[in-house]
A = this chain, B = another copy of it.
Amino acid sequence: MLADAPLPGEIHRPARLMEAMRYAALGSGKRLRPFLVVEAARLFGVEGPGVLRAACAIEMLHCYSLAHDDLPAMDDDDLRRGRPTLHRAFDEATAILAGDALLTYAFDVLADPATHADPAARAELCLGLARAAGPGGMAGGQALDLAAEVAGRPLPQMAIERLQAMKTGAVLRFSAEAGAIAAGASREDRAALAAYGRALGAAFQIADDILDAEGDDATLGKRTGKDAGRNKATLVAALGLVGAKRLVGKFVDQAESALAPFGARANILVAAARFTGSRNH
């Protein structure tokens, strides 16, 4: 999909920009979001290139957000997934642009007829991704996160939960829902997958904060212990490690309950939620 071939007319895709987009998107990574898309669609018996395209679009969006979050003006990180961050491997202008291009290209992929034969599904995928990633979702959560860091005061638990539901939860929730949309699932089934994704997202973020507090750089491929140093708003700071771990368990249970109507067919998604709550990398 990211070929550097000339497009019709005078349009082509510059090689260095494409290289930076690939560097940001095709390194290692858990691929949790595309996994959720693919497995949610499979729950309804649907798989194939269209679902994979939707999955790739969401991963591209996720990778854009990492590239921009790592920028010097944002979290100023040098290491990501065990490699130099995008702006360290290329330069800051290229990192900004490649992030912009990945974000834009995600919508190109979703809106393309190759992703779904039904234009209503394509429009719903675009709308869902835009809502999950925009000012009421991921971008808004990142803004709240930066503001909390600048203020330097600890946030109350509810404010942190909201921030995390926006910053990481919204796209994880949409990933599960996107699989259901791609599979043409009913409104009710879509809502179940969204509830699952939302609970998994909450568990994931708290587990991430626990890892930051407990983990070591070599296992994670990024700097750890940095949240505390920066007054990052985390539930570990608000609840302590024991309280945070208990909350993870609560969200994992919620994720499992949301999929109860699907019985054993949902085993892999349930296992993913359990793994998310207990992961060590």
Interface SS, A side: helix
Closest 5 CB pairs of A and B: A108-B130, A73-B92, A111-B127, A119-B120, A111-B126
Which residues of A are interface residues toward B (Cβ below 8 A)? 2, 7, 9-14, 16-18, 21, 64, 68, 71, 73-74, 91-94, 96-97, 99-101, 103-105, 107-108, 110-112, 118-120, 122-124, 126-127, 129-131, 133-137, 139-140, 142-144, 146-147, 161-162, 165-166, 170
With CB as the reference atom, state the residue of chain B lying closest to A104.
Answer: B134
A136 touches which one: B11, B94, B123 (CB < 8 A)?
B11
With CB as the reference atom, state the residue of chain B lying closest to A18.
Answer: B135
With CB as the reference atom, state the residue of chain B lying closest to A21.
Answer: B135
In the complex, given contacts A74-B93, A105-B135, what are 20 additional A-B residue pairs having Cβ atoms less than 8 angstroms apart? A2-B135, A7-B136, A9-B165, A10-B161, A13-B140, A17-B143, A21-B135, A71-B96, A73-B91, A97-B146, A101-B134, A101-B139, A103-B103, A104-B134, A107-B107, A107-B126, A107-B130, A108-B127, A119-B120, A119-B123
A146 touches which one: B10, B93, B135, B140 (CB < 8 A)?
B93
In the complex, what residues of B have CB within 8 A of residue A147's CB?
Answer: 14, 16
In the complex, what residues of B have CB within 8 A of residue A93's CB?
Answer: 71, 73-74, 146
Q: Are A130 and B143 in contact (CB under 8 A)?
A: no
Would A142 and B104 be within 8 Å (CB), given that A120-B119, A135-B21 are in contact? Answer: no
Return A146 CB to nearest CB of chain B, in Å: 5
Q: Are B17 and A135 in contact (CB under 8 A)?
A: yes
A92 vs B93: C-alpha distance in the bound complex, in angstroms?
Answer: 13
A161 vs B12: C-alpha distance in the bound complex, in angstroms?
Answer: 12
With CB as the reference atom, state the residue of chain B lying closest to A76.
Answer: B93
Most buried by B among A91, A140, A165: A140
A123 touches which one: B94, B100, B126 (CB < 8 A)?
B126
Return A65 CB to nearest CB of chain B, in Å: 8
With CB as the reference atom, state the residue of chain B lying closest to A198.
Answer: B9
Would A127 and B112 be within 8 Å (CB), given that A7-B136, A18-B135 are in contact? Answer: yes
Q: Are A100 and B170 in contact (CB under 8 A)?
A: no
A142 touches which one: B11, B97, B129, B135 (CB < 8 A)?
B97
Q: List 24 A-B contacts (CB under 8 A).
A: A10-B161, A11-B137, A11-B162, A11-B170, A12-B162, A14-B143, A16-B147, A68-B100, A73-B91, A73-B96, A74-B93, A94-B146, A97-B142, A97-B143, A100-B103, A104-B133, A104-B134, A104-B139, A105-B135, A107-B126, A107-B129, A107-B130, A108-B130, A111-B127
